[in-house]
Structure 1
Amino acid sequence: MPINSFDPRSRLPLGRGNRAKSRRDANAFTLVELLVVIAIVGVLVALILPAVQAARESSRRTQCQNNLKQIGLGLQNYVGAEGAFPAGKKWTNKRTLPQTQQVAWSSFLLSYLEQGNVLPKIDFSLNLSDPANLPVTGLVIDIYRCPSTGRLEAHRGEDARLIELGVPGGGMACIDYLGSSGPDKDESPPGSTEPYGRQRGVLIGTKGMPNEDTILAPPPVKVQHVTDGLSNTIAVAECTGRGVEMDDAEIKSLNGAWASGSNVSHITKGVNRVEAPDAWYKEAIFSDHPGGANLLMADGSVHFAADETDKDVIMSLCSRDGDEAVETFPF
């Protein structure tokens, strides 16, 4: 077409400049097209983000299960070496002495979790949070932490240590896994009117036992004492985010510290039936995993228990010798 010819649509001369502008206009986005693209991208992001978050939580839950499997392996090795499960809680000296400490199963197990150099460094003649002990009792043990933990008790910091704030035990490292000393003492096995009583689990303490004020440790629980079967008895359950236990605005115990003897409890509720902060004080089964919590059985196996798991089933699984009839394994 000659340079000075006319475009019949515009009736303007279609010179070189106008032809270049026409090509640019043909290749450009209109405002409507741009808005459509933005809307499509927004929809795709809305679809992808939940999937990404679900994949991340699945990975965290798997890591939590691996932590419990390592703890379970440590328990099995402890039983093999010592002939019994570790005490859930015991005292380091006579109860009347001011320097007496309560120490939990999670301390005794360290030697079987490739942390054999930790426990011997604790000076039990001093408080567990004494500056001389804090380099040890303040050591964060990775397999004692659930990666999904999000909700934290007010005295627990983001670094998984008790925050100072004038708190006894400030600086001690925390744990997200709670030893089970048995079912709620006031509950009864299915078909029975006789309450379970205390210390019917595998990681037991001294509370409620004869001469509990004078004995330093509970009687050892051996494999043959677990008549319900190791695979049917809970040893450790998730109770994540714990720091300290409060009672009328006063600190009652350092239940979230792995070195503390308070890291063991009778299980009184079902799975995630109690919300924070009450879950930490009542030490129920509690986690930040959507839909349930991980449990470690006495045989070392790990199972994910759904929120809907019946409380009676949990109570039955917490006892080592209740002779309960659980028809099918619930997980």
Structure 2
Amino acid sequence: MNDCPRRDRTGFTLVELLVVIAIIGVLVGLLLPAVQAAREASRRMSCSNNVKQIGLGLHNYHAAYNQLPIEGTGATNEMVNSATAGDASNGTGFTRLELSFLVGLLPFVEQQSLWEQISNPMVESDGDRWPAFGPRPRQGDYPPWATNIPTFRCPSDPGYGLPGLGRTNYTACSGDGFYYAMEGVTVWQGSVSNGRWLYESDSQAMTRSRCGLRGAFVTRKSMKFRDLTDGLSNTIAVGEVITGLQDNDIRAVGFDNSKGGNTTVNMLNNPKLCEDVAMANGYLDPARPRFWTDTATTSAVTQRGFQWADYHPIHTQFNTILPPNSEICTVNTSERYGVLPSSSHHQGGVHILMADGAVKFITDSINAGNRRSPCVYCDATTSGTNSVLAAGSPSPYGLWGALGTRASNEVIDQEF
């Protein structure tokens, strides 16, 4: 008979421990996507709130000044138009009418202190001197232009830092066309060192802008709610964009026009030209079809939303030609005009602000009509080419295009 005392088991066996670990792993695997989805839902709501704040700011600005803030404005030199002179840090710099609508909006989105810095001369401890309203908005040594403003950033966008200079995810709607979106109604006449600004008095600029810039914002022009005759609730004012991550995302950087085909008129006649050329010549990454190849892009420095204070279309403008999250297609350098869709890191769509202050989430699948239809344009380039669509025609880009125009008399009979 065995008289040894019996010992009770007090621990887990190896098999039991492995089972517990496996169960915990399964639970984590189930919960992690839900946690990530909850975080994105929170970021998306915060982004929507930012758009709402910009909408309130636009309405308060209009109530104060009886107009919208101008896209392409600022104190400038009436005798000289040199970019180098505009960048000067000795107190003689000037904006060259390159400030975006977001600059004027600052006091109306709780950025009064930054507005005070911009609207007054500044002398820095290193000797740099800046005039009121600063130098050109791409002058990185001027502190206000490099300031990151939370209201102008979507929390879902991971972009930060250089080469971006104070990024923004919110841009002005220039309508369903793009020709002359950089020059607008006010243009420079003469050499850079000897000329003058023509303020809405150049007949060619006025013809091009009236015909092709059909959105709530017209570059370098004072726009009022009364100009939006399609109705404030039927006209987009502001749209969301991603900022460039220098990863060749087709939504953030333009296709290099030297690769063939995308001249101004060709692009005006076929907004999908860049994609067509890229697919035919292998400039879309086969492993990542939403990215250009390394040899296809125009600039690693000038990408979407890099400068909140800069009026150039790549930074603070978008158009309703191609549906949200489509590819960018630019003329000449990537900062100039071109097909510039809205975009976001949210699943399936983008936030847009209607002119009445309502915030909408527009899906990528919105009715965008014929994506290869010519834009409405007049007197394009030195050849003076006109669109096959007459000035004032309804937008050829479906519901999305109709929402981008301010006075084209389209009937909005669909939900969006």
Q: TM-score, normalised by structure 2?
A: 0.60
Instruction: Classify 1:197/1:265 alpha carbon distance in 2 versus 1 (closer, same or farther; 3 Å).
Output: farther
Report deviation, 1:54.
0.5
Q: CA deviation at 1:130?
A: 3.9
CA RMSD of aligned residues (A): 3.0
**Conserved? CA contact 1:104–1:264, under 8 Å:** no
Alpha-carbon offset, residue 31 of structure 1: 2.6
Residue 268 (str. 1) matches residue 321 (str. 2) = yes
For residue 327 of structure 2, what is the amino acid of its counterpart? V
Partner SS, residue 319 of structure 2: strand
* Cα gap change, 1:75 to 1:97, in 2 (>3 Å): same
Conservation of the 8 A alpha-carbon contact between 1:67 and 1:144: yes
The answer for unaligned runs of 5 or more in structure 1 is: 1-5, 7-12, 153-157, 164-169, 187-195, 206-216
Matches of 2:79 and 2:349 in 1, distance apart? Answer: 39
Q: Which residue of 2 aligns with 1:232?
A: 234
Q: Give 1:140 deviation, angstroms.
A: 0.8
Match of 2:37 in 1: 54
Contact 1:237/1:294 (CA < 8 Å) preserved in 2? yes
CA distance in 1, matches of 2:366, 2:70: 28
| Contact 2:176 2:401 survives alignment (8 Å) | yes
State the distance in 1 between where 2:140 and 2:53 align: 30
Matched with 2:101 is 105
Tell me how many residue pairs correspond in the alignment: 276
Measure how far apart 1:231 and its partner are. 1.4
Check the 8 A contact 1:292/1:307 in 2, yes or no: yes
Gaps of 5+ in 2: 87-95, 119-130, 180-209, 246-251, 259-297, 369-397
Post-superposition Cα deviations, 1:249-297, rounded to whole Å, max 9, x if no partner, equal 45668852111112124333101133899xx975311100111111111
- TM superposition shift of 1:310: 1.6
The percent of aligned pairs where both chains have the same amino acid is 35
Match of 2:135 among 126, 129, 154: 126
Deviation at 1:318, TM superposition (A): 0.7
Name the aligned partner's letter for residue 104 of structure 2.
Answer: F
Shift of 1:45: 1.0
Pick the structure with greater CA Rg: 1
1:174 aligns with 2:160: no
CA separation of 1:30 and 1:86: change in aligned 2, threshold 3 A? same
Distance 1:47 1:276, change over 3 A: farther
Secondary structure of 1:54's match?
helix
2:409 matches 1:323: yes
TM-score w.r.t. the length of structure 1 is: 0.74
